Structure 1
Amino acid sequence: MNVSPILESEFPASVMAVSPLARRADLTLDPGENGKLIRHIEAGGVRTLLYGGNANLYHVAVSEYRELLDMLAALAGPATRRV
């Protein structure tokens, strides 16, 4: 996961993917499907993933935050940022 400071010079060349958050039928986070989404986006050259409204983060329970953040950190490539 790229955790270096974002430089102003990066923005003109940046595309931010507003990714959905995949869940299983029982509503638990689905690392397999989220990994597929992330790899598909990265294959298109996008290196910034923005999680927010489309991912329904306002429905994520506080008890899920650690699992969610750990999952996103583990699934994306080393050059990809998660916002």
Structure 2
Amino acid sequence: MQTEVSLAQRRLTESEEKLRSRERTMNQALEDCKRDTKRMEESKQLLQSRVRCKSGTPKFISASGSPTYWIEYEVKSAELES
């Protein structure tokens, strides 16, 4: 009986350790995703501020990085160098 209890306790401890490990992995993946999303949004805003239509209004960039609509545009070389 004592052996069965010890075995059950060991299995429970191992299961708890696996769960904690998976939680850490999941939390790390979530933090990585949040960080990547923030970087993508910052890059998107930077691109939108640099790319201007001839009329001077911003040309919007989709999350994939491609234009949401295609029109003739100009980019000021000084903005690209900064």
Bin the TM-score by the shorter chain.
under 0.3
Please say which structure displays the higher CA radius of gyration: 2
TM-score w.r.t. the length of structure 1 is: 0.20
TM-score (normalised: structure 2): 0.21
Greater RCO between the two (CA within 8 Å, min separation 6)? 1
From the two aligned structures, give the one with the greater strand fraction. Answer: 1
